[in-house]
Structure 1
């Protein structure tokens, strides 16, 4: 068992991105963004799952907008270009699955 802390960081800084755990076939990253913050277009060579724990964030995936909230999650296949914009202060987990 491994209890992993993902402390809320937006009280102390504007943006927080930190890898929280890496295992043989996956990496989990905690991303916290203030409302209005962006991450520019990029892609990943791995399958990626976005799980929003708090807030609301808009992704543009291959030109198609999608809003991710605590009520849904997003799966992106390898090499899908995407950017993101925090609609609200957002705390999310990015899980990248290695082939």
Structure 2
């Protein structure tokens, strides 16, 4: 068993993004954004799950926009072009499935 810490840092600085865990089958990232901050268009070479732990995040995937909260998950297939904007201060976990 391994407990992985992902402390809330938005009180100390703006945008935070980084890898917190990796195995041969998956990579886990933590992204924290202040309201209004965004990440421009990009894609992954693998399946991706987006889990919003707090806040509201607007995701645009292949020109379709959805708002995610802690009550929803987003699955993206490999190479789906996407971007995101925090509508509120947000804490997001990204799971890349290799």
How many pairs were matched up? Answer: 98
Distance 1:24 1:42 in 2: 22
Report the counterpart of residue 86 of structure 1 in structure 2.
Answer: 86
Q: Which runs of 5+ in 1 are unaligned?
A: none
1:6 corresponds in structure 2 to: 6
The aligned runs of 1:1-99 (5 Å cut-off) are: 1-98=1-98
* Cα distance in 1 between the residues matched to 2:60 and 2:92: 16
TM-score computed with the length of structure 2 as normaliser: 0.99
Give the whole-Å Cα distance in 2 for the aligned partners of 1:84 and 1:8: 19
Per-residue deviation, 1:18: 1.2
| In structure 1, C-alpha distance between the alignment counterparts of 2:11 and 2:18, rounded to whole Å | 16
- Distance in 1 separating the partners of 2:78 and 2:24: 18
Gaps of 5+ in 2: none
TM superposition outliers: structure 1 runs of 4+ over 6 Å: none
**RMSD between aligned alpha carbons?**
0.4
Residue deviations 1:48-79, cap 9 Å, x none?
A: 00000000000110000011100001000000
